[in-house]
Amino acid sequence: MVTLALILLILVAVLALGIVVSNPQIYELSIFGAIIPANTAGIFITGAVAMAVTILALLLLRNGMRRSRARRDRIKALDASDEAAASGSSGSAETSTNPASDSESSTTPAERNAMLDEADELTREEPQK
C-alpha cells in the first residue's frame, strides 16, 4: 500500500510539473470584482491548497463527530449506572444506618461533566489508532 501511494504521489507530481511547465500563459481571474493575473502554477497551487484545507476540515469534522458520539455514549452509560445504583440503593436504604454512604455512590451532573471533560483532555493527548 505504501509503495502504491508513493508511486501515485510521484505520478501526480510529474503531471503537475508537466502542466505548469507546458502552459506559461497568464490568465486574468476575477475574484469578487478584482482582476488578478495568475499563471497556471498559481491556479494549480490555489486549487491544491483549497483541496488540502477541505480535506483537513472534513477530518476535523469526522473527529469531532466521533468524539461527540463517544461523549454521548459515556453520558448514557453513566446515567444507566446511576439509575442502577439508585434502584439498588433504594431497597437497602431502609436498612442503611449511614445516609452519607448512599450519596457517595452516585455522582452529580456537575461531577459527571467534570469527569467527561477530564476524559476528553486525556483522549486528545493520546495518538489516534
Q: How far apart are CA 88 and CA 82, in angstroms?
A: 10
pLDDT at 62: 92
Q: Give the domain extent around 60.
A: 16-84+103-125
CB 41 within 8 A of CB 19: no
List pLDDT tens digits, range 38-72.
888 888 888 888 989 999 999 999 998 999 999 99
52, part of any domain: yes
92, part of any domain: no
Three-class SS of residue 28? strand
Nearest to 120 by CA among 77, 76, 80, 64: 64
Q: What's the total number of domains in the chain?
A: 1
Within a 10 A sphere around the Cβ of 98, how many other Cβ atoms?
8
List pLDDT tens digits, range 62-117.
998 999 999 999 888 888 888 887 777 665 544 445 444 444 546 777 787 888 88
